[in-house]
């Protein structure tokens, strides 16, 4: 009897923990590692404008990531439901191949768009006197991770 009640207690504890963790994640950003820079007193106006531009570029990249993550989640959910409903092995293989093509295309397009945005932002920030570089942020899309490239400020 004691073993059953102890097992029940542990299961209830795990359930309570799993229900509570979602509520604490509300305040987190989509991409936790996305850099943001504060404008400090003592910076020249040109540097302040350049820092604001870097933040705007990183926010634009984060918006692109968010849209791609939503599309990837929909693709993955549809793939999972279609795969579960299908019994034929050949049809399952075709569904998997189609999903792989679509998710790879989605991620590749996002990486290309982010790269273009980042390179344009780096050119503008370097012209304003800010030393900036590309940093890669590991991001989840459906069932796979990809690295996306925001700007980090090294110095000015």
The helix (run of H) or strand (run of E) holding residue 102 is helix 89-127
pLDDT tens string 91-100: 999 999 999 9
CA distance 149 to 135: 5
Cα–Cα distances in angstroms (integers) from residue 130 to residues 29, 38, 40, 154, in the given order: 26, 14, 14, 8
pLDDT tens string 28-85: 334 456 667 677 777 788 888 888 898 899 899 999 999 999 999 999 999 999 999 9
Quick one: pLDDT at residue 12?
56
CA distance 14 to 48: 48
Bridge partners of residue 147, in order along the sequence: 138
Quick one: pLDDT at residue 23?
41
The pTM of the full predicted model, rounded to 2 decimals, is 0.71
CA distance 36 to 152: 8
Quick one: pLDDT at residue 128?
87
CA distance 129 to 135: 19
Handedness of CA 141, 145, 151, 152 (dihedral sign): positive
Quick one: pLDDT at residue 1?
57
CA distance 112 to 107: 9
CA distance 24 to 133: 32
Quick one: pLDDT at residue 22?
43
pLDDT tens string 100-145: 999 999 999 999 999 999 999 999 988 888 888 888 888 999 899 9
Quick one: pLDDT at residue 28?
34
Nearest alpha-carbon partner for 57 in 118, 107, 109 = 118
Quick one: pLDDT at residue 73?
95
Quick one: pLDDT at residue 5?
62
Q: What is the DSSP letter of 130?
A: -
Domain boundaries, the chain: 45-155
């Amino acid at each position: 009897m004691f073993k059953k009640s102890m097992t029940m207690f542990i299961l209830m504890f795990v359930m309570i923990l799993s229900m509570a963790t979602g509520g604490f994640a509300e305040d987190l950003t989509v991409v936790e590692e996305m850099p943001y820079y504060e404008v400090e007193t003592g910076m020249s106006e040109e540097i302040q404008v350049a820092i604001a531009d870097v933040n705007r570029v990183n926010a634009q990249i984060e918006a692109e990531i968010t849209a791609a993550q939503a599309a990837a989640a929909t693709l993955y959910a549809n793939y999972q439901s279609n795969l579960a409903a299908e019994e034929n092995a050949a049809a399952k293989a075709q569904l998997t191949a189609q999903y792989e093509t679509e998710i790879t295309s989605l991620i590749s397009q996002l990486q290309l768009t982010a790269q273009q945005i980042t390179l344009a932002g780096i050119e503008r920030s370097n012209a304003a006197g800010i030393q900036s570089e590309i940093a890669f942020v590991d991001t989840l899309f459906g069932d796979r991770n990809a690295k996306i490239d925001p700007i980090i400020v090294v110095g000015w």
